[in-house]
Amino acid sequence: MHQAQIERLEAQVISHRLAWDFFLSLKSPALPSPSCGSCTPRRDLALSQKECEQLTGHLRRSEKEAAALRADAAPRVAASCLKCAQEAAFSAGAPATAHGQFVDRLAKWPKMFISMKIAGMGKAGTQPETCTQGPAELNPTFLSYLFWSTELQINKNKAGTPFTRGHARCVCAAARARLFSACLSAGQEVEKLSSELVGCRQRLEAVQRDGGQWRAEALSLAEQLASAQRQLHLTRCAFASTLASLSWACLFVCAAVGELDGLLSSQDSLIKKLTEECRTLGATLEELTGNKRREVERLTAANRHLRGALNKTTARCSDMEKQCVQHGRVHRSMKNRLQQLDRHCQSSARQVCELLAKHNHVTMQGGDFGVFHFFSLSKM
């Protein structure tokens, strides 16, 4: 995502780092030879290119993972992503990478220095003009190479004229001043670009963390998808079994419907027969109800007659009960009278017996005449 921006920043950091190394080598007491100076930048450049390639490869992998996670998840575009896309589109319009151009210039500089040295063997006056052609337009590395070549020419041409030597020293002093100012600005730029690189690395770490989160979310989504697929398989199996059971149920229902149709037809014929029978039974029932109604009327009349007779009989019964009560009362009074008469008869009989006993006693004393007389009296 941040590939173009990081490549541009890496190229600037490499160029300013090389310039700073050259400036430190110039400040040291022993100046290195141009061959050694050219080897050190190339080695640093190779290391920087290797690190840059590693970072770009890591960034590309992170971008691929983030793109895959975005394709799996809902599409979303953040403000930072839009900014990075704009910067990438702007940097894509540039002709080539900065560090590639820098490598090409570093490859061309030794040939240029050799040609300058060959051309300036006997021309001391033209060398300063060649060295001072547009120094402000070049970077500090080129100025350092110019300074080294000038120092070499000064060491070789010590026997030259004092005017040429002094002029070369002035040019070297001016180049040294320009190099010092350029190196200071390069140091500031290096610090600025280092801070930007730190920010880019922090953004890269944030992107990596987001990628980890997206990976975890992708794993969870994959698990959910697997569970959903299992559930879908189970649902399909259940649906297939349900369809089979429904087909069997449909066949059974069709058979049952056929049977029910036969039963309904037979029931319809039976219902027709029953309706005809009901009509005949209704007619007979009407006749029976008429007969029964007439019978009920006759019975009601007989009931009324019987009720009148019953009322009369109950009245007679009540009268007879009253008479019976009166007869009972008379019977009780007669019974009481008979009991009284019985008691009177018993008392009279006892009296008669007593009289007879007395009479017998008297007669026994008086003789047989008395007995005969008694029998005659008793017969009478």
Q: Is residue 370 part of a domain?
A: no
Q: How far apart are CA 20 and CA 31, in angstroms?
A: 14
Q: Is residue 302 part of a domain?
A: no
Tens-digit pLDDT string for the chain (380 aa): 455 656 666 666 666 566 566 555 554 443 334 344 444 445 655 666 566 566 666 666 766 766 666 565 444 433 344 445 444 444 444 333 444 454 455 445 544 544 554 455 444 444 433 333 433 334 555 555 555 655 555 555 554 544 455 666 676 677 677 777 777 877 787 788 888 888 888 888 888 888 888 888 888 888 888 888 888 889 889 888 888 888 888 888 888 888 889 889 998 999 999 999 989 999 999 999 999 899 999 999 999 999 999 999 999 899 999 998 999 899 999 999 999 999 999 999 999 999 999 988 888 887 554 544 544 555 44
Q: Which residues contact 289 (CB under 8 A, 6 or more apart)?
A: none
Q: Quick check: helix, strand or coil at residue 95?
A: coil
Q: Which residue has the tokens 């030794």?
A: 110
Q: How far apart are CA 34 and CA 75, in angstroms?
A: 55
Q: Is residue 208 part of a domain?
A: yes
User: Shortest CA distance to 186 belongs to which of 146, 224, 144, 145?
Assistant: 144
Q: Which domain holds residue 195?
A: 3-219
The alpha carbon of 180 is separated from its chain's Cα centroid by a whole number of angstroms, namely 68
Q: Is residue 340 part of a domain?
A: no
Q: Is residue 145 part of a domain?
A: yes
Q: Is residue 233 part of a domain?
A: no
Instruction: Specify the number of domains making up the chain.
Output: 1
In sequence order, what DSSP letters do the residues of 245-305 get, joined into one string? HHHHHHHHHHHHHHHHHHHHHHHHHHHHHHHHHHHHHHHHHHHHHHHHHHHHHHHHHHHHH
Contact indicator for 213, 63 with CB cutoff of 8 Å = no
Q: What is the pTM of this model?
A: 0.26
Q: How far apart are CA 102 and CA 44, in angstroms?
A: 13
Q: Is residue 281 part of a domain?
A: no
Q: Which residues contact 2 (CB under 8 A, 6 or more apart)?
A: 59, 84, 87, 88, 200, 203, 204
Q: Is residue 335 part of a domain?
A: no
Residues present in the chain in total: 380
